[in-house]
Amino acid sequence: MIEKVNPSHPDKVADRIAGALVDLAYTKDPNPKIAVEVLIGHGKCHIIAETSVKLGVDQVVNAVQRITPLENLAIDYREVPQDPELAKNQAEGIRCGDNGIFKGVPRNPEEVALSKAVRELYDQFPTDGKFIYDEETKTFIVCQSNASDRGLLAAIDEIYYLDHSERLMINPLGEWTGGTNVDTGATNRKLGSDMGRAVTGGGLHGKDLSKADVSVNIVCFILAEECRQEVEALCAIGDKEITFRRADGAQVKFDYADVVAQARDYIEDRGGFEKFAEWGLI
């Protein structure tokens, strides 16, 4: 099965806010150390940022209000410095900032097609949406808020990427409103939507590039796409190099600084951490 949610899903709103704050940190320092957690819903937005640079409450509030312009949203922002012991890890150069295990898996045609369809639907319906494709039963489930079933059917008929022998279900429980006034969003809660069949020991969003959760995941994905097979890696905090192992047994080793550089290029190509958070890797 494949799941995909769009950028207006409450969990993705949280990811986008976290990404925007990481982008902000990079405007103040070329190599900041930051980890952001966001919980948003029902009129409240709670944010904790462990950061080596001061972000400023006004800039944080502006980012939140730009991404989710809800009236009377109460924003609770707490900023704390990075732990001094963790800070020592990066004192002499770029080193791995996390422990973790990672597996990159190349996208299959169904994942590519579902991602394309969901993006095209979002152009017409930029509100909370959730989508599933079951490869075994060939069922495409569309749960799109603030849209009539008739309107959705017409839109899907224009972009339908599956053959019509497959089963289509639209809003199984009826039309709905969605959004953060209905549901709560939290950072890194939709990793299945972001990463497909890949495996990670941590979350993609709200963290700087020294964190393996970001950089090693991205490089695993890049390598898996290039060689069209699974790519695994493991790391420990403080590592200066990372070995990536392909399913066929071949290995490639990179200095951790090179891993970060590849991930930086990928993020910049996507338009920054906030834009990356909209859709993730797939």
Among 47, 50, 48, 55, which residue's Cα sits nearest to residue 29? 55
Half-sphere exposure in the Cβ direction for 92 (13 Å, CA):
4
Residue stretches of the chain with pLDDT short of 50? none
The pLDDT of residue 205 is 98
Q: What is the pLDDT of residues 203-254, one digit of tens each?
A: 999 999 999 999 999 999 999 999 999 999 999 999 999 999 999 999 999 9
Percentage of residues of the chain with pLDDT beyond 90: 80
Cβ atoms within 10 Å of 201's Cβ, excluding its own: 16
The overall average pLDDT reported for the chain is 93
Distance CA 35, CA 49 (A): 6
The pLDDT of residue 167 is 86
Q: Hey, where are the domains in the chain?
A: 2-6+110-170, 10-88, 100-107+185-276
Half-sphere exposure in the Cβ direction for 216 (13 Å, CA):
37
The pLDDT of residue 162 is 54
For the chain, give the number of residues: 282
The pLDDT of residue 129 is 97
Fold of 10-88: GMP Synthetase; Chain A, domain 3 (3.30.300)
The pLDDT of residue 157 is 79
Residue pair 9/37 in contact by the 8 Å Cβ criterion: no
Residue pair 218/281 in contact by the 8 Å Cβ criterion: yes
Residue 110 has which token pair? 């169904």
